[in-house]
Amino acid sequence: MPTRMIREGLLDSKKFNKLTEEEQMFFVRLMLVVDDYGRYDARPELIKSRCYPVTTNKDLSDVSKMLSSLDKSQMITLYTVNSKEYLEIIDYNQRLRQKKEKYPSPARADVSIVRADVSIVRPEEKRSRREVELEVELEENLICVPFETFWNLYDKKVNPKLCRKMWKSLSDSEREAIIKIIPDYKKANPDKKYRKDPERYLKKRSWEDEIIKNYNETKNQYTPADMLADSQRPWLKKVFTDE
């Protein structure tokens, strides 16, 4: 095992002195088992076996509580990578002998995963998963027309994740205008395969385009008005002129 340096400055640290004596001793033991980067596997079972190899009066719950306390005191950082738990001692400042990292850094941390006794999250994000879910739920409740209303009414379910993001970026008045125009747009394009994908519809602001109806909706016949309108189109003008 490599030699570790415990500097006397640790004794003057405010964060260190706020810990209980048991937590202070636990922190020193951690310093002896982590790698050169100050990182180690954060599973309480493994830490207990390494930090207290011959001590039998330490329970897993004790180790978990001390890990949580060190994390709250900002002596260590608890995080997960690919759903595996790790820790890193903050400002470890030891001589690096390892050329390759044995444990991943907190920069690669997953979204927060909360265990019953220890909260393991990204260093910059100290919120529980439930708090994040409630925040998203609150944001969606503030929208006058929920995304699901548009999604079910438009009825061409392609790329929902991106469409939801685009829907959130719209104003309330824009959402209301879209919901109002969709029934007419669907009448003009009853076959959904000829409708624009919802992503393109929102991106191109197609609800602002004129809806052109070429056929009589009730009789489904080509009317004189439709014929007159078509005669003005360049690609049909020659046909009508020749006749």
Backbone angles phi, psi at 233, to 5 degrees: -80, 135
- How many other CB atoms are there within 10 angstroms of residue 201's CB atom? 21
In contact, 161 and 199? CB cutoff 8 Å: no
CA distance 189 to 116: 53
In contact, 113 and 120? CB cutoff 8 Å: yes
Query: What is the DSSP track for 38-89?
Result: SEEE--HHHHHHHH-SS--S--HHHHHHHHHHHHHTTSEEEEEETTEEEEEE
Token pair of 173, please?
A: 């008045």
Identify the residue with better confidence: 75 or 100: 75
For 55-74, how does the pLDDT look when each residue is reduced to its tens digit (9 = 90+)? Answer: 777 888 999 999 999 999 99
Q: What percent of the chain has pLDDT over 90?
A: 31
Query: What is the DSSP track for the chain?
Result: -------GGGGG-HHHHTS-HHHHHHHHHHHHHS-TTSEEE--HHHHHHHH-SS--S--HHHHHHHHHHHHHTTSEEEEEETTEEEEEETT-------SS-SS--GGG--S-EE-SS-EE--TT----HHHHHHHHHHHHHTSSS-HHHHHHHH-----HHHHHHHHHHS-HHHHHHHHHHHHHHHHH--SGGGSPPHHHHHHTTGGGS-----S-TTT----HHHHHHHHTSHHHHHHHHH-
- What pLDDT, on a 0 to 100 scale, did the predictor assign at position 222? 53
**Is 90 exceeded by the pLDDT of residue 172?**
no
For 14-58, how does the pLDDT look when each residue is reduced to its tens digit (9 = 90+)? Answer: 999 999 999 999 999 999 889 888 899 999 999 998 898 887 778
- What pLDDT, on a 0 to 100 scale, did the predictor assign at position 133? 58
Identify the residue with better confidence: 113 or 230: 230
- What pLDDT, on a 0 to 100 scale, did the predictor assign at position 119? 46
- What pLDDT, on a 0 to 100 scale, did the predictor assign at position 87? 94
Compute the residue count for the chain: 243
β-bridge pairing 119-120 and 84-89: unpaired
**Is 50 exceeded by the pLDDT of residue 114?**
no
Lowest mean pLDDT among 109-123, 126-140, 201-215: 109-123
